[in-house]
Structure 1
Amino acid sequence: MPGRPGPPDGVLAERAQDGDTAAFETLVLRHQDTVFRVALRTLGDREEAADAAQEALVTAWRRLPSLRDADRFRPWLLRIAARGALDAARARAPEHPIPEGAEVADPAAGPAGRAVGSGLRQALDHALADLPPPQRICWILREMEGLGYEEIADVVDATPTAVRGRIHRARTRLVEALEPWR
């Protein structure tokens, strides 16, 4: 990603493929928060998300030799994280609501503003939890992580057209669910 100090991801990934654990550690430090956020928003449980994020990073280390284009490390890592979180979400019992806490309410908003922000945040969390996992992960990667359609398609192993459709359906469902907040 541009603007990050140090060597680009591609250079670090190539070094890591050659056995440089410090290079991989730098990649982990650079991307662990994003991996965790994707897992948290997909799973809705901090402990499960931490486990899924850790498993994704371990899996990335083990699969690093299979990475063909080192410059594509970030989407490759996010694909591992997204698939792991989706597998965990599918494997468990009924959905847990996504917990509040990814963003903190603005204390300058005052008690009323914080209450409205908290209520809206909870409504969004519940609406996200109700989305089918493929729609949820595409929406999260687009709206919360800022990935483009091509990158998301690479992450979720779908076409950009399928990603657009999933995001459109997710947006439609979220708008309907959040209608009372308009």
Structure 2
Amino acid sequence: MTGGNVDTRSDEDLLRAHVQGDPDAFAALITRHHTYLWSLACRTSGNPDDAADALQDALLNAHRMAGQFRSDAKVTSWLHRIVVNACLDRIRRNRSRMTVAIPEYDVLPLADGHDQMAAVDLSVSIGRALDELPPDQRAAVIAVDVEGLSVSEAAQRLGIPTGTVKSRCSRGRLRLAQILGHLRVA
């Protein structure tokens, strides 16, 4: 890759070149997928600060573990799994620290459905509800219901059996229905 040109090598070729010592290959690979990986980290972590830290940890791990990549999966699936695992690790670490919740006095009830802000309010409510799910359920629900992956694709990306994805989605959806029950129209 030279002076602003896009590297046209496949993801697998870039990762292989990185392992073989190409100093630009890993950067080209990450540049290609950074937007997706960042949005994944944000959705999984629940806040931009933790997402940034988790993504940095994930990219360092991917850089170091590139030689262990097996070509039985897509590079993007491998990166997805590393990012989700880094986010879940950070969530676990954060939970082990003592925190005190700050009351949210500025939360307004949902606006009228005809109001343009209603969609924003709904999005915020759903985001907050997702934040209340356990990290493993959140990751499964986001993969299947937000990203639109099939159960088998989500299982592959998360590195868990399909039955586990189904049960985590089921429990997560049930919990979301309870949390968001106030949004039901009578």
Q: What is the TM-score normalised by the length of structure 2? A: 0.77
> CA RMSD, aligned part only?
2.5
Q: Percent identical across equivalent pairs?
A: 32
Partner of 2:3: none
1:4-62 deviations in whole A, cap 9, x for unaligned? x8333222222222222322222101222222222212222211211111111111011
Q: CA deviation at 1:133?
A: 0.6
1:102-156 deviations in whole A, cap 9, x for unaligned? xxxxxxxxxx633211211121011101111100011112233333323322332
Tell me the amino acid that sits aligned with residue 56 of structure 2.
Answer: Q
Partner of 2:78: 76
Q: Single out whichever of 35-44 and 119-128 deviates more from structure 2.
A: 35-44
Q: What is the TM-score normalised by the length of structure 1? A: 0.79
**Structure 2 matches for 1:1-182, cutoff 5 A?**
6-69=8-71, 72-93=74-95, 113-182=115-184
Partner SS state of residue 152, structure 1: helix
Q: Single out whichever of 21-30 and 46-55 deviates more from structure 2.
A: 21-30
Count residues with an aligned counterpart.
165
> Using the alignment, how far apart are the partners of 2:35 and 2:146 within structure 1?
12
5+ long unaligned stretches in structure 1: 98-111
Are the structure 2 counterparts of residues 124 and 160 from structure 1 closer, same or farther at C-alpha, using a change threshold of 3 Å? Answer: same
Runs of 4+ in 1 over 4 A off after TM superposition: 94-97
> Using the alignment, how far apart are the partners of 1:176 and 1:158 within structure 2?
26
Counterpart contact for 1:44–1:129, Cα < 8 Å: yes
Partner of 1:101: none
Bigger fraction of residues in helix: 1
> Using the alignment, how far apart are the partners of 1:7 and 1:131 within structure 2?
39
Partner SS state of residue 21, structure 1: coil
Larger gyration radius, structure 1 or structure 2: 2
> Using the alignment, how far apart are the partners of 1:95 and 1:146 within structure 2?
35
Are the structure 2 counterparts of residues 33 and 70 from structure 1 closer, same or farther at C-alpha, using a change threshold of 3 Å? Answer: farther
Q: CA deviation at 1:173?
A: 2.0
Partner SS state of residue 113, structure 1: coil
Partner SS state of residue 74, structure 2: helix
Tell me the amino acid that sits aligned with residue 34 of structure 1.
Answer: Y
